[in-house]
Amino acid sequence: MAFVYMPNRQEAVLFGGSDASGKGLADTWTWKAGCWAQQSPAQSPPARDFTTAAYDSTNAVALLYGGRGGGQFYSDTWEWNGQAWTKVASSGPPDMFGGPVAQFDPVTQRVLLFGMVSGGLPETWLWDGSKWNRQSPAHTPDGRESPTMALDATRGQVILFSGLVPSRGALSDTWTWTGTDWKELTPATSPPPRFRATMGSWAAGHMVVLWGGVGVGVLLNDAWKWDGNTWSQIGSPGSVRSDAAATDAGSQVVFFGGDGPAGNYNDLQAFDGTRWFLPQGISR
């Protein structure tokens, strides 16, 4: 699912995902001042999960790419301006199965997309406002399923962590995008290997927060923070969770939904640097 905070509107937009039966969703919701409101745009992207989205600061829209629905993988691109969805590209990067990730890159001032295509190959793309442009970095993370990516706003760096390489299993590596190349970082401490985790940017807290995922034969409920140099473990909400969505909501980082032993969740969990709590508007 896509969950993106739009600072120009001081609200987050939520799109898609899947319900308890695994059926893809095509509903659009906004979350503002602790309240959910379902939107009724004239057109919407087709129902899908495993999509990715990011706030495009240059164009002040939420940009959504790809996903899976109706037995197919999508490679289309949509913009949400706060009131309407607009399809801005019917095709672009090839189908990225296994969950691509996107984030706004402050270096290039463009949305960065990373994912794995057929054959297990990694690809990196940048959105110029009208089309995707494939990059050719000298170094790159391995092609992987379900990595997680977030913006370290304090240091102006996009951070990519973990994922599942079919031939190697779950990883625990940390990378950053320089604007032209990927660089693997060597933190003193790292979370255990995982994929399908969730990572949220939090500018006011000067950190990136990681929660849950699927580890080596186990579902995870641990939480970690990235301070620009290394990872350190923090208290967690306590529930096992994977495939949630996260967004920077100003005074806190907010996580929505995800999968667990009891099925799909539709709750919100927020972290303010000290504690986890349920913000207002806890379900939709």
Mean pLDDT of 254-280: 90
**Closest by CA position to 95, among listed 71, 130, 68:** 68
What are 58-69's pLDDT values in tens digits? Answer: 999 999 999 999
Q: How confident is the model at residue 185 (pLDDT cuts 50, 70, 90)?
A: very high
Helix, strand, coil % (nearest 5) of the chain? 0, 55, 45
Query: Is 225 a residue whose pLDDT tops 90?
Result: yes
What pLDDT does 282 receive? 41
What pLDDT does 94 receive? 87
Residue with tokens 């295509």: 117
Mean pLDDT of 150-157: 95
Alpha carbons 186 and 163: distance in angstroms, whole number: 17
Mean pLDDT of 183-193: 98
Mean pLDDT of 133-137: 98
114 or 267: which leads in pLDDT: 114
pTM comes to: 0.94
What pLDDT does 20 receive? 78
Mean pLDDT of 250-261: 91
82, 6 Cβ separation under 8 angstroms: yes
Q: Which amino acid is at 102?
A: A
Mean pLDDT of 217-226: 96
Query: Is 284 a residue whose pLDDT tops 60?
Result: no
